[in-house]
Chain A
Amino acid sequence: MKHVVIIGNGISGITAAREIRKRSDARITVISGESAHFFSRTALMYVYMGHMRYQDIKPYADDFWAKNRIELKRAWVKSVDTAAKRVAFEDGGTMAYDALLIATGSRTNKFGWPGQDLPGVQGLYSLQDLESMERDTKGIGRAVIVGGGLIGVEMAEMLLSRRIGVTFLVREDLFWGGVLPQQEAKLIGRHIAEHGVDLRFNTELDSILPGADGRVRSVVTKSGEEIVCQFVGITTGVSPNIAFLKDSGIACDRGVLVSEYLETSVPVVYAAGDCAQFRKHPDPERRSVEQVWYTGRMMGATVARTITDERTAYAPGPWFNSAKFFDIEYQTYGWVRNRLMPGQAEYYWEHPDGRLALHLVWNEEDRRFIGVNAFGMRLRHEVFDRWLREDVSVDHLVEHLREANFDPEFFAQHVKAIAISFKRNSAMHA
């Protein structure tokens, strides 16, 4: 029987394992050093905040795996020998494979700051990170978070839930300005400050200083200011977790290089999820490394087909994503870049209370709709997916916006206000 070995029990590896099981009778082994069972990484924050327990963020019951004949192995892989088709474990021992899927996810970026490895300084990615955060934030008064992205906001929310003061250092002059247009970045910045976060723009970390006990005592910024704190969260992004592949002969750049079929440079070795890097992405609009939940799920499902002999290319369809910044939900469909591209037009609507916003982008020439950002309102994926596939005009979209409303019943409706102000706005431009 063919033995498929999957390194990594994240969403990519697990989706692949489930799909392979649905499609074939192969022996399947999933290896992970992090946890015995698959859990939802995206929900780590809720465990810390006490909304859920660890067992609540496991999407499948523990007996699911045995029932579906998916073997789980708890170990760290040290190296891969592609000639002998074997993986070697850190605690000794090896395992042979007939097909290998690398789905090892990401690791926190660190940029060589002095003091970055002190106790009390960490990123947030793994279960082990959550444990150390739990341990190192007990009873402390202030924390500093470095880097303004999604995980940074989550960390700030986590710390505040334990009544720990947060100073948030952002290098740019806007929050998540590399992704969000400035209107949205300002809206979110205001909301973060509303929660009592000491948000500092244009501030860069220089070094982290230890105290007499060897733990972090303070951080020093590039401008020389010293901020006293007992914990430092590093949230300056993540990069593919592939160090263990160094001598494997599998071609890597930032991530494991893959074709659109998720095949690596070595036969019967595949990669999917956060750790994979497309040589040439099938969708040129997208980045070569995609580090989000649903793309991991889709890559897992796609590679499962290829592994079970139905060679299938990755074709993710229109982009979408969502997040939550404290109390404000964010959804995006299509492409809204942080800066308007040449030939594009845009319309931004914001509710007077400053917590709701809609940002539309379209092609100036033929008015073809390109993307939307929504804040504080829920939009129906199905409808936007259709509109993006059918290349509808922005005018059609505004007229039919009600169809895409996904807010709960009785919620204030803004569709009309948006339509009226959109028309006035486009009349001005016409």
Chain B
Amino acid sequence: MSHKDQSISIAAAHSGVLDGQQRLALALTAFGVLGLFVTIPMESIPGRIPWLLACLLLMSVGAAIYMRRSYLSRPAGIRNDGVWHSRLSARGAAAWVLAIVLTGFYVLLYFFPAQLGLGMDGEANRGIVALFDPLSRVLSGNAASQWFVYGALYTFAILAMGLKFILKHRHSRYQIIRTCSVMFFQLGFAFLIPELLQRLNYPYHNFANMWPLNYYFFDEWSVRGLLNSGGFGLFILFSGVAMIFLVSPLLTYFFGKRWFCSWVCGCGGLAETAGDPFRQLSDKSLRAWKVERWLIHSVLVFAIVMTAAVVWSYIGDGSGFFVTRGMLTGLLALVLGGLAVVALVRPGMLKELQPAVRWGLVGVLGTLVLVAVTAWIGGRSQLFFMEAYPLREWYGFLIGATFSGVIGVGFYPLMGSRVWCRFGCPMAAILGLQQRFFSRFRITTNGGQCISCGNCSTYCEMGIDVRSYAQRGENIVRASCVGCGLCASVCPRGVLKLENGKPSARLNNAPLSIGPTGVKLEL
């Protein structure tokens, strides 16, 4: 790096771009948040309902003023001004503070809920958990748990920040509709319906969340719970299985994985709304891409092994499950056979695979075979001669808690908003494989209009170097693309479009030639 190149760094020079009104608004919001969290050490809280309402009101009013000032005072259009000048969105001091606070909150939430005020062993709740008791009673009829507090705050964040996102992108109907969808699924499917189900004495269930993202779906307690709650429980069980094997592959075939990752999923919902100020922080280097492919496919393998082990350990022992070990093995054989047929019919597909993906696939299939084989030889709860339930606990601790929560959200301000979706989510891995090989979805590029400015790559939360495709005029077909549409939104030259088209025309490698006959477009 030359001296000149470094001196161009202008970060931090304009961190004070906020005006008085915006500062006031942020202060109000901060007071609201503070109001919630100061209750943590309190034994009892005077006037819980007014207190909670006051905090929510402060947060809402602050947010509303901020949004009005920041977005509605100017004509509609892309506003990313000062993103790399602000200490918060450019990994400055404020970002570190926020990351530490968030991470701390997640550590308490997952590992030390009593510190937040959760009453252990039948005791009454204290602190912030108690603050949410009244709301929880209204919805589910039970006292609040730390997960209820978390769910309520999570939903509030998606709604408030979703509104902000809509105002920021109000010139784009795609973004407005997509954000409404994410807000709807969070509020209805992820928050209200599961709570109300409990009130009606059904098991807690989020219809929009499926295995392997909700990795306990096939756990013994979960399956038993569903089987024991009559027809509705069965409905949940069968719809869950149908979602995994039928609905989701079909939707992914037609619309790409965006139908889930950026229209439905709660993790995606938070990333798209609350995480929006941090999307530019995702690492675009080749190295990151390599790490990503290894990591996410390994997590997928781990999730499958863990689930298979757990399921294996409790079925077929005569305790009344409909599914038996024989059937499960049959199912595995069927899946493997199906894949073998696909590989025979379309052998070219395998050649197209990136090595990491190919090995990932081999890993998944190999594990399935191993599961089937060792299962026949091994005993009741043994898989690869390991205990199934400890495996499940390790998965829950490492992937479910640490990765998706502590790192996935806690590190938003440092690593971008989709760390979990990009590096850790097994659901994203499955949908990604489908999207890469079977989907009608692709991002097309507009002939020779790209000026290589780099906006698209910078604002891709999945760390895809969109520009490298766009400047060559290539379609973008990447397993990790969640179809958020931001690359197309921020492109100043109208170069990118998310499309569902003929499967045969997906990979138009280098249709743009800038040779002797000018910009030639292969048609």
Contacts and interface: CB of A to CB of B under 8 A. Distances in A.
Interface of A: 11, 15, 35-37, 40, 42-43, 46-54, 56-59, 61-62, 74, 127-128, 130-131, 134, 138, 161-163, 191, 194-195, 293-294, 297-298, 301-302, 305, 312-313, 315-318, 320, 322-324, 326-327, 329, 331, 378-382, 385-386, 406-412
A407 to B, nearest CB: 8
Residue among A52, A61, A316 with the highest chain B CB neighbour number at 10 A = A52
A118 to B, nearest CB: 22
Contacts of B455: 43, 46, 51-52
A326 B451 CA distance: 17
A313 B516 contact: yes
Interface in B431-448: 446-448
Nearest to A322: B493
Contact of B8 (A131, A302, A379): A131
B209 to A, nearest CB: 25
B492 A324 contact: yes
B169 to A, nearest CB: 11
13 contacts: A35-B2, A35-B4, A43-B452, A43-B454, A50-B82, A59-B452, A195-B74, A293-B452, A298-B514, A312-B515, A385-B521, A408-B172, A411-B174
A96 to B, nearest CB: 24
Contact of A53 (B11, B447, B488): B11
Contacts of A326: 75, 77
Contacts of A297: 514
B51 to A, nearest CB: 38
A381 B521 contact: yes
Contacts of B13: 134, 138
A305 B514 CA distance: 11
B498 A327 contact: no
B14 interface: yes
Contacts of A408: 172-174, 485, 488-489, 497-498
B75 A195 contact: yes
Nearest to B2: A36
B345 interface: no
A313 B515 CA distance: 10
B69 to A, nearest CB: 13
Contacts of A410: 173-174, 177
B2 A40 contact: no
Given A46-B455, A301-B514, A322-B493, A127 B4 contact: yes
B520 interface: yes
Contacts of B171: 327
Nearest to B78: A327
Residue among B172, B280, B452, B493 with the highest chain A CB neighbour number at 10 A = B452
Contact of B451 (A47, A131, A293, A302): A293
A317 B471 contact: no
A56 B457 contact: yes
Residue among B83, B447, B494 with the highest chain A CB neighbour number at 10 A = B494
B453 interface: yes
A127 B454 contact: no
B21 to A, nearest CB: 13
B501 to A, nearest CB: 12
Closest CB pairs A-B (n = 6): A381-B447, A317-B518, A327-B77, A43-B453, A378-B494, A50-B82
Given A46-B455, A195-B75, A312-B516, A320 B494 contact: no
Given A49-B82, A329-B493, A305 B516 contact: yes
A57 B454 contact: yes
A317 B517 contact: yes
Residue among B4, B81, B83 with the highest chain A CB neighbour number at 10 A = B81
A52 B8 contact: no
Contact of B85 (A50, A127, A331, A379): A50
B458 A382 contact: no
B454 A59 contact: yes
B14 A385 contact: no
Chain B binding site: helix, strand, loop or mixed by DSSP?
loop
B185 to A, nearest CB: 18
Contacts of B359: none
Given A52-B453, A56-B454, A127-B4, 6 more contacts: A48-B10, A53-B84, A315-B516, A379-B494, A381-B446, A385-B519
Contacts of A53: 9, 11, 84
A154 B5 CA distance: 22
A123 to B, nearest CB: 17
A59 B467 contact: yes
A201 B260 CA distance: 51
A302 B516 contact: yes
Contacts of B517: 315, 317
B101 interface: no
A50 B11 CA distance: 8
A158 to B, nearest CB: 10
B80 interface: yes
A52 B516 contact: no
B360 to A, nearest CB: 25
Contacts of A379: 494
Contacts of A138: 13
B415 to A, nearest CB: 16
Residue among B19, B497, B518 with the highest chain A CB neighbour number at 10 A = B518
Residue among B13, B75, B77, B448 with the highest chain A CB neighbour number at 10 A = B448
B497 A406 contact: yes
A315 B517 CA distance: 5
A13 B8 CA distance: 23
A35 to B, nearest CB: 6
B38 interface: no
B523 interface: yes
A326 to B, nearest CB: 7
B286 interface: yes
Interface string B265-300: 000000000000000100001100000000000000
B7 interface: yes
A61 B458 contact: no
A381 B448 contact: yes
B76 interface: yes
A43 B458 CA distance: 12
A36 B171 CA distance: 38
Given A49-B81, A322-B493, A327-B78, A380 B446 contact: yes
A418 B2 CA distance: 53
Contacts of A318: 518
B1 interface: yes
Given A56-B457, A56-B458, A316 B10 contact: no
A305 B515 contact: yes
Contacts of B458: 51-52, 56
A228 to B, nearest CB: 23
Interface string B74-113: 1111101111111000000000000000000000000000
A163 B19 CA distance: 10
Nearest to B177: A410
B509 interface: no
B228 interface: no
A40 B447 contact: no
Contacts of B449: 294, 320, 322, 331, 381
B9 to A, nearest CB: 7
Nearest to B86: A50
A42 B77 contact: no
B8 A50 contact: no
A301 B494 contact: no
B83 A127 contact: no
B279 to A, nearest CB: 12
B494 A51 contact: no
Contact of B5 (A37, A52, A194, A293): A37
B82 A40 contact: no
Given A326-B75, A408-B172, A51 B447 contact: no
Contacts of B85: 50
A62 B80 CA distance: 26
A406 B80 CA distance: 23
Contacts of B86: 50
